Structure 1
Amino acid sequence: MTKTKALIDNLKSVCANYGLGNDGNEFKIITQVFLYKFLNDKFRYAVKQEKPELDEAENFSKALLDLSEDEYQFLIASLDPNIPRLRPEHLISHLFVKQNDSDFAKTFDDTLRQISIENAEVFSVKSFSGAKDTLFDELTQFISDSSQRDAFAKALINKLFEFSFEEMFEQKYDFFATIFEYLIKDYNTDSGGKYAEYYTPHAVARIMAQIMVPTPVKGVKVYDPSAGSGTLLMSLAHQIGEENCTIYSEDISQKSSNMLRLNLVLNNLTHSIPNIIKTNTIAQPTYLDTKFDYIVSNPPFKLDFSDFHADLEKDVFKKRFFAGIPNIPKTKKESMAIYLLFIQHIMFSLSDTGKAAIVLPTGFITAQSGIEKKIRERLITNGWLRGVVSMPSNIFASTGTNVSVLFLDKEADSEHIVLLDASKLGETVKEGKNQRTVLTPIEEQLIIDTFNNKQAVEDLSVVVTKAEIEVKNYSFSAGQYFEVKIEHVDISSEEFNAKMKTFESNLANLFAESKELEKEIKNNLKGLKYD
């Protein structure tokens, strides 16, 4: 872990030394070079597992180069489909030897381009139109002074050559979640604003995953219509088992899609990269005809979607948006509640036994009218509500909005719906200028166990029926179902009489003060003159 973080820091140092520190292209360079290194080592590891004699060779890249074309092709064909396909001349060890050749920057860029082309089928992200992106850019072209490009490429290769991932491939992949966060931690801003979707707190993600999948499952389809960098998807995949699920995702951001690709590679989910789609999920959904077993989402709460509002009114969308589409306000279009469209999209996308967990503003669970109430009514009528967990304030550092997690299940037990109020849990920590609430591991487990065991715990949770929710005007707030407790204290008749005399005395004094104040006001009014 420490060595991997040092590699990331070294790559950032190289960028800084060549004038690219905090440059808009630094993100591409760091993440793509890191990905190249990971794929290089993944290929080397897989080849050595398949052909152990190559592991004993003094020079691996030369030994690979010495294979006949038939031997090389046979070796490549024997590898798992999710292993990158590299040629000997693509390896970092080969480039390390060639680094003093003329036009080394061109050699470096050409190598990455060839890897992109030969691995496009598995590693490219598609857009709604079906067009595939390139895995790597021509990275040295970001150096404006062409005379420095060879030196820049050499510096990158030297940093990569000093480090190896291969020993880590024997381990479980969970630690790569931390590496991924460290890798992108400096790139989570866009015009000064936080990319909240990159940072769904891991506690929230774990709670969602462990409530959704309390028992083992296999061969399931997992989907996030607003995937961001994939925190929710990774947590759910780890809970299910990477080999037991296929991931699908949509997100409008190219940057998010590239981050998610890297996250899938690091977390042994390469087989799902072809299912990453860069698109506007609401206006141009790719998976409209696909139904999913598990859906997780932390959608944008508010966003201006006035540009494609009219398109959503078309017949093809009416079945999906059964509860309606928020109107376009005359002012503050950026406050349009787009999350209401995501909830309806998710409900539409569930399989016959589908389950979902959605992060949404807590105001949704009690709104007395409008689209919010229509959605809640439909969930109760259909028997799809499994429960709600209302989170502590400021559990997201980037937003002050109180959030709840809505759990849907087409096989839900409508006689035992769990409403849990975790707002009083957590510890406050400071992150820069922001304060955030952090749940302790014990509190996380308390929420998960209470919910999964359908327990009513004083001041924490209630277990209610479908009928009880209907009576409460379809409120999903636990607080509205808590018992109101009145504390009784026994007192003697003498104590009671003494208390009553005190109340009478205080009341008489207040009445007297009121009369004096009344006189004073009248006198002041008489003294007023108009000139």
Structure 2
Amino acid sequence: MSEDHKKQLEQQLWNIANTLRGKMNADEFRDYILGFIFYKYLSEKMYRYADSILEQDGMKYIDIDESSEKGREYLEAIKEETLEKLGYFLKPSELFSEIAKRGNSDKEGEDNFILEDLRKILTNIEQSTMGTGSEDDFDNLFEDMDLTSTKLGRTESEKNNLIAKVLTHLDNIDFCIEDTELDVLGDAYEYLIGQFASGAGKKAGEFYTPQEVSKILAKIVTTGKTKLKSVYDPTCGSGSLLLRVAKEVEEVNEFCGQEMNRTTYNLCRMNMILHDVHYRKFDIRQEDTLEHPQHLDKRFEAVVANPPFSAKWSANPLFMTDDRFSHYGKLAPSSKADFAFVCHMVYQLAENGSMAVVLPHGALFRGGAELQIRQYLIEERNYLDAVIGLPANIFYGTSIPTCILVFKKCRENSDDILFIDASQHFEKVKTQNMLREKDIEKIVSTYRNRTEEEKYSKRASLNEIAENDYNLNIPRYVDTFEAEESIDIEQICKDLVELDKQIVETDKTIASFCKELNISTPF
């Protein structure tokens, strides 16, 4: 897809979103727009697969008569195959295009009220999976799309008109899902998630990591690999980070993630399916990762995360017997869970795996329990591979500077830790700082080659880090000091003397003008 086509598609989607923008805030209309895009995707996958089954009979899925006995036989057979292949089922009359057509119909005698049918269809999609392997992946997937909300309109008719309008606009967009080389729909979905995140203030951090940061994390954990057995994100949000990792390799066999927020958890499952990740290949759970971890029996080849910065957690003393935390001697403080997430992720990391996590800068140098955990990870385990400083104000909803910590259990370069200061390499776009492609490439290539560059990167020995009491603050290792231009005091003195002479001459000139004009001098 050309860049122009991509921009045109993004503009079309944003125009549709604006249909709802005046009715509700970004968080709310996000759920409707993304939900309808997901419904359109499911419909297109359904009829394309059904058409392929019916091809030998010279039939199209949309032409099946649902009321006839023969038609019901066809539907039963197709349903069985579709549930196995796609994980869900839609009847011809339930397809997105059919509902959009009905909602926009102005034919005399044809009922264009679709609201009630739409509610039933979304429920039917979820219920079609009951008792199958995809049941957990579709359970309550559309629960955030409240079609009874007064925010859609005061009357049922107003709500119906608005929804019909949105569906009609979406129906006119070709997402090219038959082209397996393109991921137009997935990219469009990611675009909208990013747009909603930028307008959602502090809440944005709950479900979205900027693509530039995701790209860095993904490239780091896939260094030297073309396939991954598994990738895990303990705070997976909308799943964009998991999916970004998949773009860096030829194949990922398993995606696992955990998300506490119910709405964001639904968003993540939709995002997985929209990016054509088979329901058997992903396992996304809704729970508090620190308090109730869901994947403790697994070890992952790639672990990535952008946990909520300095979140609170219970730090219950009982966790001192938990294998994730027991080795460190202390728990991360209850007011700052940053290192609780690190300990959890290290526990889930496979021996041959790589892990990259985004943290606030304070995690590099805070004392107390966090210092003890840092020291254990470096001195006792030697797991820390790199520390990367990012620019401030690149995350939605917070302007604080952040960093990436990279961990490996089997490090190739076990004698030193690489420090990269990328904090000054960015482009300012409106109120947000953005990492450019060249900034991303510089970080990644510096990490992969472990190159040292003055004022940018340094390999610090373990002894040097120990001498700094395991304080990982980047300026201790990467000297970014810029010497100020030297000042010639002697020349300045001469300039001042000359200036005084000029002032005296100017005063004389002014005095002579005043005398000619017969007025008082100003001094």
Instruction: Give the alignment's TM-score, normalised by structure 2.
Output: 0.77
How much does 1:448 deviate? 1.0
Among 132, 153, 168, the residue aligned to 1:158: 168
Distance 1:6 1:273 in 2: 32
Distance 2:336 2:14 in 1: 40
Q: Distance in 1 between matches of 2:176 and 2:324?
A: 51
Q: Does 1:453 align with 2:458?
A: no
The residue that corresponds to 1:474 in the other structure is 470
1:42/1:169 Cα in 2 relative to 1: closer, same or farther (>3 Å)?
A: farther
Residue deviations 1:70-116, cap 9 Å, x none?
54444455556346422222213443565533864322221221111
* Residues 38/475 of structure 1: CA separation in 2 closer, same or farther (3 Å cut): same
Which of 28, 31, 34 is matched with 2:31 structurally?
A: 28
Q: 2:91 aligns with which of 71, 84, 87?
A: 87
Task: Give the deviation of 1:363 after TM superposition.
Answer: 2.7
Aligned counterpart, 2:516:
none
Q: 1:311 to 1:252 in 2, by over 3 A?
A: farther
Q: Does 1:294 align with 2:281?
A: no
Task: Map 1:231-310; keep pairs closer than 5 Å.
Answer: 231-241=240-250, 243-271=251-279, 275-305=283-313, 308-310=314-316
State whether structure 2 residue 235 is matched by structure 1 residue 226: yes
Rounded Cα–Cα distance in structure 1 between residues aligned with 2:340 and 2:325: 12
- Can you list the C-alpha shifts for 1:36-78, whole angstroms capped at 9, x where unaligned? 1111112223334454468x86x65114858655544444555
Name the SS for the 1:419 alignment partner: strand
Q: 1:227 to 1:61 in 2, by over 3 A?
A: same
TM alignment of 1:346-385, pairs within 5 A: 346-385=345-384
Q: Give the equivalent residue in structure 2 for 1:116.
A: 126
Per-residue deviation, 1:216:
2.8
Per-residue CA deviation, residues 120-151 of structure 1 (Å, 9 max, x unaligned), is 5566667xxxx943435674322452354554
Q: Say which SS state the counterpart of residue 407 (structure 2) adopts.
A: strand
Question: Cα–Cα, structure 1 residues 238 and 323, in superposed 2: closer, same or farther, change >3 Å?
Answer: farther
| TM-score normalised to structure 1 length | 0.76
Shift of 1:231: 2.7
CA contact (8 A) 1:220 1:244 kept: yes
Alignment pair present for 1:140 and 2:141: no
Structure 1 pair 272/475, CA: closer, same or farther in 2 (3 Å)?
A: farther
Alpha carbons of structure 1 residues 438 and 181: separation in structure 2 relative to 1, 3 Å: same
Q: Does 1:8 align with 2:13?
A: yes
Letter in 1 for 2:62: S
Q: Is this contact kept in 1: 2:385–2:408, CA < 8 A?
A: yes
Give 3-state SS (helix, strand or coil) of 1:346's partner.
Answer: helix
Q: CA deviation at 1:392?
A: 2.1
What SS class does the counterpart of residue 398 from structure 1 fall into? coil
Aligned pair 1:424/2:424, yes or no?
A: yes
Per-residue deviation at 1:245?
A: 3.2
Does 1:202 find its partner at 2:207? no
Structure 2 distance, partners of 1:275, 1:486, is 49
Equivalent residue for 1:325? Answer: 331
* Uncovered stretches (5+) of structure 1, i.e. residues with no partner: 329-335, 488-497, 503-531
Distance 1:267 1:122, change over 3 A: farther
Q: Hey, what's the Cα distance between the residues in 1 that align with 2:482 and 2:202?
A: 47
Provide the secondary structure at the position in 1 that maps to 2:85. coil
Tell me, in whole angstroms, the C-alpha distance in 2 between the residues paired with 1:297 and 1:189. 22
Please report how far the alpha carbon of residue 482 of structure 1 lies from its aligned counterpart in structure 2 after TM superposition. 4.7
- Letter of the 1:324 counterpart: K
Specify the alignment match of 1:462 in structure 2: 458
Q: 1:245 to 1:36 in 2, by over 3 A?
A: same
Number of the residue aligned with 2:500: none
Asked whether the equivalents of residues 173 and 267 of structure 1 are also in contact (C-alpha less than 8 Å), the reply is: yes
> Once the two structures are aligned, what percentage of the paired residues are identical?
20
**Distance of 1:288 and 1:102 partners within structure 2:** 51
Deviations, residues 260-294 of structure 1 (Å, cap 9, x unaligned): 12321222224368611111111111122322221
What's the secondary structure of 1:141's corresponding residue? coil
Q: Aligned partners of 1:478, 1:157: CA distance in 2, in Å?
A: 51
Q: How far apart, CA to CA, are the structure 1 residues paired with 2:333 and 2:477? A: 32
**Cα distance change on mapping 1:175 and 1:214 into 2, 3 Å:** farther
The answer (yes or no) to whether the contact 2:235–2:305 under 8 Å persists in 1 is: yes
Mean CA deviation greater in 62-71 or 454-463: 62-71
Give the corresponding residue for 1:490.
Answer: none
The one-letter code sitting in structure 2 at the alignment partner of 1:8 is L
Structure 2, unpaired ranges of 5+ = 1-5, 104-109, 484-488, 494-523
**In 2, Cα distance between equivalents of 1:173 and 1:98:** 28
1:211 maps to 2:220: yes
Q: Which 10-residue stretch deviates more, 249-258 or 266-275?
A: 266-275
1:324-377 Cα shifts (integer Å, max 9, x gaps): 23455xxxxxxx111121111111221222321011122322345432343243
The structure-2 alpha-carbon separation of the partners of 1:240 and 1:158, relative to structure 1 and needing over 3 Å to count, comes to same
One of 33, 36, 40 as aligned partner of 1:37: 40
Shift of 1:2: 5.2
1:20 Cα deviation (Å)? 3.6
Change (3 A) 1:11 1:64: farther
**Partners in 2 of 1:184 and 1:417 — Cα distance?**
33
Structure 1: how far apart are the matches of 2:391 and 2:101?
55
1:427, 1:439 within 8 Å by CA — same for their partners in 2? yes
In the alignment, which of 312, 321, 330 is matched to residue 315 of structure 1?
321
CA separation in 2, counterparts of 1:214 and 1:461? 19
Aligned partner of residue 294 in structure 2, secondary structure = coil
CA distance in 2, matches of 1:414, 1:178: 42
| Equivalent AA in structure 1 for residue 255 of structure 2 | I
- Matched residues in 1 for 2:482 and 2:113: separation? 83
More deviation, 397-406/369-378: 369-378
Moved more, 444-453 or 415-424: 415-424
SS in 2 for 1:258: helix
Aligned-partner residue type, residue 209 of structure 2: T
Whole-Å separation in 1 of the counterparts to 2:451 and 2:203: 37
What is the alpha-carbon distance in structure 2 between the residues aligned to residue 223 and residue 398 of structure 1?
Answer: 25
Is the 8 Å Cα contact of residues 294 and 354 (structure 1) preserved in structure 2? yes
- Alpha-carbon distance in structure 2 between the residues aligned to 1:327 and 1:183: 32
RMSD: 3.7
Does 2:452 match 1:442?
A: no
Question: Equivalents in 2 of 1:201, 1:119: separation in Å?
Answer: 33
